[in-house]
Chains A and B, each alone.
Chain A
Amino acid sequence: MKLQKASRYALYAVLHLASAPDRQHSTAEIAQEYGISIHHLAKVMRTLVRSGLIESVRGVGGGYRFAGNVRRTTLWDVIHEFESLESDIDTPDEVAGTAGIVISGLDSVNSEIDGLIRSTLDSITLKTLLRYGVENLERRV
């Protein structure tokens, strides 16, 4: 699985904001923290606001803050705002004979993999992901 850049940036931003829901951060702060393009992140943030996952805060010290439920929002809820994650092996539609068997078999495997990816991403909440991060870091120490 390779996530598109927009999905990755969205995960960075949403998880960063969700880690401290009572605080707000600017696009520039998040871009600097993760070493990513502020211009591209700004576009992602607009999509996230429209989806209701984050909200903008105006005024002095304004920025964005998380607007969802960390115990309910899953990684899939964030990613599917940007991509479907369905495998695409770019095969011809109209094939017959041996080619038809090969393409049909590959479609079947793709479907199984897509189902596993979807159920994994849709079962990991932001809270769980943040806990994975803490535990991984603790194990490394």
Chain B
Amino acid sequence: MPGTAQNNKTAKMNNNRIAIDIRPATVADSAAIVALDAEITGTDKSAYWTDILERFTDSAMRIQRHFLVASSANGDLVGFVVGEIRAWEFGSPPCGWVLALSVSPQHRELGIGSLLLDALSVELKSAGIATIRTMVLSTDKVNLSFFRGEGLSAGPYIELEKRLD
């Protein structure tokens, strides 16, 4: 069912299995999401994430926008993924954009990122989307390797930019 993430996924940790719950984010997750992002990026983006959460948890947009969080058995938020269906931007037919995917540094290498991307892919596929797309800094080896490991590869579009100074 679109907009309803599968729950009770299980991630692997040191050959033991830990329970990971993947569910749609709520506004109540805001502080934990801001804190996790700040831990990873070193930048506090409270206003940005509050705005994203408000827009992506709007029930009227549940088919197009998905903000899923992964939490451990004790309820700690250990990761999140944000995705959106966009159509005809840059001339592209409808596709699913992975706008953000983060996993707590203390919970890496457990497959949580894969679970989050899988859960998002299920949502997007159920909405009729056949392709997912994302953008990664060309020097960001960790994230590039992750997405390639998940089956993504260079697509038909090339990002171009220009400094305006």
Contacts and interface: CB of A to CB of B under 8 A. Distances in A.
Question: Is B one of A's binding partners?
Answer: yes
Nearest to A115: B138
Contacts of B91: none
Contacts of A74: 141, 145
Nearest to B144: A123
Interface in A114-133: 115-116, 119-120, 122-125, 127-128, 131
A50 interface: no
B156 to A, nearest CB: 15
Interface in B121-161: 138-139, 141, 144-145, 148-149, 154
A72 B142 CA distance: 9
A39 interface: no
A16 B102 CA distance: 33
Size bracket, chain B contacts? under 10
Contacts of A124: 145, 148
A126 to B, nearest CB: 11
A71 interface: yes
Contacts of B141: 74, 122-123
Contact of B138 (A72, A116, A127): A116
Contacts of A72: 145
Nearest to A119: B138
B149 A125 contact: yes
Given A116-B138, A123-B141, A71 B149 contact: yes
Nearest to A132: B153
Interface string A29-41: 0000000000000
A71 B145 CA distance: 9
B162 to A, nearest CB: 13
Most buried by A among B139, B141, B148, B154: B148
Nearest to B149: A128
A3 to B, nearest CB: 19
A32 to B, nearest CB: 31
A116 B148 CA distance: 15
B145 A125 contact: yes
Nearest to A124: B148
B138 A125 contact: no
Closest 5 pairs (CB-CB, A-B): A123-B144, A119-B138, A128-B148, A128-B149, A123-B145
Interface of A: 71-72, 74, 115-116, 119-120, 122-125, 127-128, 131
17 contacts: A72-B145, A74-B141, A74-B145, A116-B138, A119-B138, A119-B144, A122-B144, A123-B141, A123-B145, A123-B148, A124-B145, A124-B148, A125-B145, A125-B148, A128-B148, A128-B149, A131-B149
